[in-house]
Structure 1
Amino acid sequence: MKLEVSIDGRVEVLDVHALTALSVRAPASMSLDTLDAGLREGAWGECAELDHAWLEVAALSECGPTDEQWRTDFNAMIDYADGRGWTRSDRTQVRAHIEYDVDPSGSDDLLISRLLSTRWQGAPKPRRSSR
């Protein structure tokens, strides 16, 4: 299941039958504030940090079909996430990865800057070979 957020903050739910992964997809040029506002405005959830969001379980549940098998599979996804610590203690929200689209123009300076400032901040420096 994937939530796709457009540059103007609109949210569209995709792949409702793909319940083995949960993510939010956003343009690389989108600010975290705009992404957070889009999720909050539609009552989808909120951004937790640059690469994760907390999504409302009830809102996600309402997106799927009403058949019993889908509900069983959806609940199994939430149970799996809960077992890994990826839900709030009351299970009203589930954690999802944020995936940023690559800029088709080839200019991914913003995305690269985000990655360098968060993922590798404080990472050990590479060792030089003693040869």
Structure 2
Amino acid sequence: MRVIVDADVRIEDPGNLTELAVVSDLPAEEIATALRAADLGDTAGDHAWLRCAALEEQGALLVDDPQWRQRFQGMLDYARRKGWMDDRGEAVRAHITARE
């Protein structure tokens, strides 16, 4: 799953729950502003902190898979085991990468 940040913020490839990244060529502060405006999260350093509930709600709208929410929770469980969740378990850390 990729969160694309350019003229707008959108989720691409929500069925791929083996990767999570924010993809953008914008400066870091503009990425942070866009994520906050979309109510998806914020940035800290080279990473984004994405709101799990918002990702789940928006991602579920884009797939036709009755098991998707269960698979999404599996991704979050994996992130939790790796230490990639915030202390409250409400946000997941994602790399910020440049568009290819």
Q: How many residues align?
A: 97
Relative to the length of structure 1, the TM-score reads 0.70
Matches within 5 A, 1:1-131: 1-6=1-6, 8=7, 10-27=8-25, 30-49=26-45, 51-63=46-58, 64=60, 65=63, 67-101=65-99
Give structure 1 stretches of 5+ with no counterpart.
103-131
Give structure 2 stretches of 5+ with no counterpart.
none
Residues 43-79 of structure 1: CA distance to partner in whole angstroms, max 9, x if unpaired?
A: 0100111x21000000100022475410110000000
> Does 1 or 2 have the higher relative contact order (CA < 8 Å, sep 6+)?
2
Give the secondary-structure state (helix, strand or coil) at the position aligned to 2:83.
coil
- Please list every run of at least 4 consecutive aligned residues from structure 1 whose deviation after the TM superposition is greater than 2 angstroms: 65-68
After TM superposition, give the deviation of residue 89 of structure 1 in Å: 1.6
Bigger Rg, which one: 1
Taking only aligned residues, the RMSD between alpha carbons, in angstroms, comes to 1.4
- The percentage of aligned residue pairs carrying the same residue is 38
- 1:117 maps to what in 2? none
